[in-house]
Chains A and B, each alone.
Chain A
Amino acid sequence: MKKLLFLLLPLFCLAQDLKLDHSYTNAADFEVGDTITIKFNTIQVTEGADPNLYMFDYEYNNKLLQKITHRFKVADNEANTNAQTSLTHWDGYKFKILSTYDEDNLSAQYLHGWQNRTQVEGDTSSYPTDNDWSVERITIQDGVGITYNNTLIEVDFKIKDKINTNYSNYNNVTHLNWMKAHDNSNNTAYDVDAMQQKITLAGVEGGDAGSVTINLKTENDKPTHYKYNILSNNSSVASGNFDANSQAIVTGLENNVKYTIDITVDNDAASDWLDDVVTVTDVFLVFKEAIKAGSNPGGQANTFTHSIQFLLGEVNNSGNVDFDDSYILLSHIMNENVSEWFTSSTNGAKNIWGEKNQYGYSTNDYYFGQRKDFTPIDSNKVFDFGHGLIGDVDFSHSFEPIVQSENSGVARGVVQNSSENLNLDISTSLVNDKVELVVELEKEDLAGMQFVIQFDDALLEFEEVQFNTGNLLTNFATERNNKLYFGSLSVENQENIKPGKPYKIIFNPKQTITNTSGLIYFQTTDAVTEEGTKVILKIQ
């Protein structure tokens, strides 16, 4: 009996059907700046396991590795020439392993650690933010089983210098997070374990001690659209774009030499979002500041909480923030560009920037704290610069100045942190052969709301917006290409947006459609209360 139990034990332990592996293909004498290739493949464990769908996530340390490119190889083998492939990339996230399952049990981590994570009590976030890590999701499907032992995909990385990071070695620079392996023909899910789950690069040599890191500080999530130009004696010595982690690693600079830096938005790259910088919140804040309403309509106090907001809100080059500025910004959200002095797709970005701690604080030398110089020395080669955009008084796309708290700690984000959240119901449906988008609102103290939606203009034609917001509100709806900007603002602050169904958008289908899922992308939303508090809208 005891022998029988020993014989059966391995059967229970060997539950996995296949393994996912990844490894580098280069010789292991690495130097900083080298390119390494990491290949991914599967290994069969259980005979008959024949998945035709793979979906898996892996992550890499973006402070130590810089991704260059990838090549799918699965279709190179004769059995899978028709395989379909997809790779999706996200920066700034790291998988949180669900500790109730083994880390290397990739199928359990998929099912419980990711797919059904919201059901795990007290631990619902599978991908908390982490600036040091980037995640890639690889999906491969075929009509036949995907063969084992062949390379599925190769990914090339450049080894970065660890000198300006918090890492002392190159241990565990990659990690296999989870995997779904499925046979779609009979709906069979397979158990997957990791083979080599993490890659360590041992003995990496070299590194330029003179490399300097410039960190871009902005609330904008498009750091690659920002350019830097480093000058010495008015001559450019280095230039380029910031990377996806808001960093520029610059070499060739000299110690103890003062450099200046220009940080500007690339208007061509940013043309898609420049019109989203100024929203109803900015208009409302500038209007409240112009009438000196302070925290209540009868007051005589400032609405702005940072002096740099007077620079960001001055959009007609008059030198003051007044009614004219608020009407210029209001005109912008109503699709009229009546001033050249603020950020929009017509005007381009109007940039301000300065060293992070000085930014926002005027001195005789630095207007609104725009200190643009830095000097590398042996003990300091990392420099942080805040960046702002004229018109963006709510800092939605700008760095908010650092505020020193009373006990000398640093408190960030007076404006951003005072925002509140609001759940909102937005849905589309097919009604009498037309597509209707309806916004449902319960909150009663909203003075402004703005939505940007993107629609499939091959299938839909915009017809109209039906407003049911109240009698004294200024409503707007603007169609630009396949985007629709709509919303309302209580300019005189006399009436708030009426709860209920304030907005109904009607589209005409250009061809027969069965339903509306995916036809409209809810891109951005913005709202502000009558008190001037920014409201983060969360669609339920």
Chain B
Amino acid sequence: MFLRSIQLRDWKAYATAQFDFPVPTKNKNVVLIGAKNGYGKTSLLEAIILGLYGRDGMHALARAVTSNSDDDRSYDEFMERALHAQALQQVRTSIAITIVLEDAIERLKIVRRWHFTASGKHRRLDEEVNLFSGKDEEPVKVPGLRPSREERDDYYRSEIARKFIPFHLTEFFLFDGERVQQLAKQQQAGMVKEGVEGVLGVQLLRVLQGDLVAYAQDRRRGVENIEDETLSRVNSQITEIEARLEPCKNKITELEDQMTPINRRIEELTRAVRTMTGGNSANVKELMEDQFRFRRQREKVEERLNEMLRTDLALALAGKSLRDSVVKTLGSEIKRSEWLASKNHTREKLDRILAGLEAKDPVIRPELTEHQLLVLRQRLTDVWETLWHPPPADCAIEERHVYLSEAERRRVIERLDKVERLGVAELEQLLADHDEATVQFNRLGHQIAGLSGIEERIREDMNELQRLNQQAGQVREQMGELNRQEQNDNSELSKLRAEAGRMAARHESAQPSLARAAKAEKIAALIAEAIEDLYPRYVTRLAEEMTAVYKQLAHKTLVKKIEIATDCTVKLLGDKGSNIRRMDSSAGEEQIFALSLIAAIAKVSGTKVPIVMDTPLARLDPDHRSNVLRYFAAHAGEQVIFLSQPD
């Protein structure tokens, strides 16, 4: 696209201004704007740059560099100075720049406004930019439902970069004389390199390369990277366990096969022994032991019965009335004995009383006669006798069982009481126990008699049974161990299979991200390789083009060839191949050198955009000026705008 027009309002010295540029043609592609110093040539260039790119264009403005290191502050200061001097007095608090770009197909109108406070302070956040497309100037629609201001500005910036040139290339197409001087200095090789790389798109490619590498790293970080080796390791563990399980299962089957005949034989033997023993598998010895036990039981019952016959039975047979009579008699004899004992005890006290009658002190006056004393003794004795007569009612009159002591009488009473409690029930139980023991004893006797002939056979079978049971136990123990091992392995196998499944799923889900990362890295490597391969070719072409341009612009013919190293160090080589670029070369020569470089860069880049140069001819003599104008005029159809002094 080329620059069709620019309209300024309150921009620096321009209260209002409109510049319309003709459509560049084959014969008329150079626009020359002449003005003396201070008449706004540079202001126009700045208006074009800032009108197109706003704050982004600041880096292309040599004059914008201030002592202030704060970019925002620097921009504010620049814009506050840019506001037309009369604007605030006339109550206009904004700057407006309208640029129209065109080509055969498209038309793009850019309207940018900067706003200020009443005191002239730049309201940076209120900066406006609007794009209109086509002859009907339809507003350019920003994608998205409700794009933010930042999104809108980003989109417009992108549109301008896409349809015109990215702002970072402006310094090679829109520049002033000071910029040319900077490029002319040999020590600015870094800047030249940056410019060459920028104009060729190498810088953009490097950014893309870096973004792809960062993207790949990010994608790899974002997924659980399960290497194929990890999955293979788990799968090989599964295979290992499966291989171990197989013989284990085989061994279990083998042992089960071994157990079948053993179990069958055990069943046979058990059945045979049971049959031989009538359902009781005990041997004769055990049967005899049982029989002995029942015999002992019967003997104990008989002993008890004999004892009962010997002791209690006679008393029981004597009858209850006789036993009661004896108990009663013995009881009354015990009473009598107790009565007599008490009486004898008081008789001793009577004897002491009677003896007291013989005492001398106190003296009885008159003294008792022998007779009186005898009578007194008799009377006292008679009185005492009356105390013990008659004897108690339940007391025996006489003792029939004089041979028994009181204690023996009591034992006899207890014995007779016991006979009284001897019941029929106990006797019947004893007789029943005797019968049962006798029956069991006889039964076992018959059984033992029956077994006597096959006892040897049973013993043999029992021995075999014992041996087989022992063998079966050992096999079962082995099988138990193998079953435990199989269970553990199966459990481990289940876990590993589940883990392998999860890993495979994660592995599968991670594949797209990993594939993207791998692709991004591959493309980044491709870009690096392409730059390394192609960039030196362009530098060579750039040197060839610069040589051609330089020869057209310079009127000296000392320079035979220009060489540009990949670090963009430029050498002017003379006839003998020596670098003839002099440090003390004239300002005009330096400017020719710089213009050659810029023209060569523009040509090699193949970018078809306008070139706007502010006072590039100031230091040139008339011959050089003619050469420069002739050179650019020869680029048919490419718009070139020179802002120059009138002379």
The answer on A and B forming one complex is no
